[in-house]
Structure 1
């Protein structure tokens, strides 16, 4: 491909605009329009691709609804009650608050589907709890919070998996199911690591919650704990689609916060809707830009050309998965996860299909890999978020997050080479892959 070709100039323009500070979604739209102009194609194609992609895929509606559900949980007392429940279960052990951090991420993973929402909401509370009275170093608490927040987009519901379903046509219901075991595996390895560190670093032991108090604490947290049951039960019973389930999740969170817990004012509700709209807008622009850029990539026949190239290399399915993992690990250090799913993965999906790789397994593997980028130095987004929340130097957080990153890479290796770990639960529910 010539360096002066329209496609090459398009890629250079997108990269340059992004480096200059233009949001990635806007940069992709601008670069794609430049390509259409240079290639002599209809300029209205960009708008057509945007409109067709955004308004004919109802599953995209699940994204803002899950984001709203997470915001509504964070402004009410749902978070506090769930924290009390987690503390009653695992807080009594050495390093108990660190274990609470992991357990609450498992529970919140079944509600928000966003790592950033978990870190900014419940993660902020955990940071304050762990650093109170100097119990844990601030950098360790921040690193652990960043690492546990990654669990959110793996255990259902998962916003990245919704976006992957958009580009792959894989079943969102089976993708959700496929994320359960990998997410629990990742959390389990983190708990083992915390248990080892608790003894080597002499972390404190919290005063145990009296056994007689556990039923009361559980009862108070029960409406919030039932949210994943309501959400996933609706999907897998066939009562709701994933998009409808997202609407039910948002309505359920509002009902619990306003009617049962009575902890949300109108001002709180307004601010949560506003925050959800801002987050949704940024994701929407990424999707819009990716849809237009994907049209450009299709016109250039990039996916098919790459598929032919990789086939000529005579890669085995295992070799292909290793190559994709290495590429995604590198890209995850410098690119935002949604961009990778929307722009990079569609290039690999035809080859994965040709090699007989199950797209549900492939999707979970890719999502787990991309989530590692959120805590991978030097540009891990969660690391920067926790730097602001904890007010500690980035390097200190990086030092403490590395052991957790190694456990997540170990989880990724298991997920990659043992597909049954991913597909076991979907097959119980009738998946034929």
Structure 2
């Protein structure tokens, strides 16, 4: 390790430790490296522009953000919620099941855990806490846990970022996330059902089965959005980036012409919010591109790969070790930072050990999403605390059981790669 890289790491940890936003910490520590090595800071600009110009897929990120914000506005989310209540609200812990199923459905439209939690999640929390039917902390905790499914079922912004650093197929990554996402939803529903019976949560008013077709038809235009996305990608009609544009356009058409709830003022607000969110992600991506150049210049990925191969570490032991590390880092780092900065260090070792990059990517993204609800950082916990004013301590107290079953689901996905790779192989993946 060169002195320049040592200065870079010290700067990164010091800046992050004193509370500097992680994107700025990465950028400033990269500048320290360039300055210490006598390189022009203009190199950073060139790396950034080259990285963006060569990554057309990054355009999918702001487009998915726009689509999610449009779906969160108006009556689209309300129609989806009514459908979910009619479908699973009849069971004990019904609104908890509604929460999870709504996240499963909405995940096929947003690609963002924060969008799920801040949008449709807030509506469900209000429903769950009305008249004291569910404890506030429990409602927020299950909302945070179910929102982690958002970036697993396609579309997925974190998987787009992983594809950027790994060159894995976005299409096969999207397919690989479907079964794991459904499995996560299943284990959360089992845990919710167990807790509901243990605490004797009240049963909700049952929606007659004869009304289910009506609610299904009402929500159908929104429900078919994931199918349109997947057909566009796997039918050869559109690239993932073009599919993201189709998703945003479809959501806008639904709001303007079918449901007639979108006003010009609302659309302007959505575009401004989307631009801010995209800029926040873009700063992290920019810093990560520069830091990845530094890491590559120091030949660290190859050194890690040679060290691991030299130790004769079995692939399964390597996978478990890396995932434990990611879980620990998820307690203090943002998911985008882990995907863009930390995960690339292990990709050469995965290749050398014969670990499939689609399997590794899906497992890594699931792991990063679990980090979103892991104290003390757990950004979803802070998001829900900010938008609902439910004390953070109450949310953390209730989130541990959901966190435990998600970690168990992660272990199953690590031990059984076929759960992730079966669907991509059906569609021709040779990995």
Q: Which TM-score tier does this pair reach, normalised by the shorter chain? A: over 0.9
Establish whether residue 174 from structure 1 lines up as the match of residue 172 from structure 2. Answer: yes
Tell me, yes or no, if the aligned pair for 1:67 and 1:276 is still in contact at 8 Å. Answer: yes
Deviation at 1:56, TM superposition (A): 1.7
Indicate the residue corresponding to 2:307 in structure 1: 309
Q: Distance in 1 between matches of 2:202 and 2:228?
A: 36
Indicate the residue corresponding to 2:188 in structure 1: 190
Where in structure 2 are the equivalents of 1:257-336 lying within 5 Å?
Answer: 257-336=255-334
Q: Distance in 1 between matches of 2:173 and 2:116?
A: 20
Establish whether residue 255 from structure 1 lines up as the match of residue 253 from structure 2. Answer: yes
Where in structure 2 are the equivalents of 1:410-425 lying within 5 Å?
Answer: 410-425=408-423
Deviation at 1:41, TM superposition (A): 2.5
Establish whether residue 17 from structure 1 lines up as the match of residue 15 from structure 2. Answer: yes
Instruction: Say what the alpha-carbon RMSD is for the aligned residues.
Output: 1.0
Indicate the residue corresponding to 2:364 in structure 1: 366
Q: Distance in 2 between matches of 1:221 and 1:392?
A: 30
Bigger CA drift: 29-38 or 90-99?
A: 29-38
Indicate the residue corresponding to 2:34 in structure 1: 36
Tell me, yes or no, if the aligned pair for 2:385 and 2:392 is still in contact at 8 Å. Answer: yes
Deviation at 1:87, TM superposition (A): 0.4
Tell me, yes or no, if the aligned pair for 1:234 and 1:245 is still in contact at 8 Å. Answer: yes
Tell me, yes or no, if the aligned pair for 2:136 and 2:394 is still in contact at 8 Å. Answer: no
> 1:98-157, CA deviations, whole angstroms, 9 ceiling, x for partnerless residues?
100000000001000000000000000011010111110010000000000000001111
Query: For 1:238, what is the secondary structure of its paired residue?
Result: coil
Give unpaired runs (5+ residues) of structure 1. Answer: none
Indicate the residue corresponding to 1:220 in structure 2: 218
Q: Distance in 1 between matches of 2:39 and 2:97?
A: 57
Deviation at 1:389, TM superposition (A): 2.7
Query: For 1:127, what is the secondary structure of its paired residue?
Result: helix
- TM-score between both structures, scaled by the size of structure 1: 0.98
Deviation at 1:214, TM superposition (A): 1.7
Tell me, yes or no, if the aligned pair for 1:139 and 1:390 is still in contact at 8 Å. Answer: no
> 1:173-224, CA deviations, whole angstroms, 9 ceiling, x for partnerless residues?
0000000000111100111111111111111111111223222211111111
Deviation at 1:95, TM superposition (A): 1.0
Indicate the residue corresponding to 1:338 in structure 2: 336
- TM-score between both structures, scaled by the size of structure 2: 0.98
Q: Distance in 1 between matches of 2:417 and 2:164?
A: 22
Query: For 2:91, what is the secondary structure of its paired residue?
Result: coil
Q: Distance in 1 between matches of 2:66 and 2:343?
A: 27
Deviation at 1:432, TM superposition (A): 0.5
Indicate the residue corresponding to 2:393 in structure 1: 395
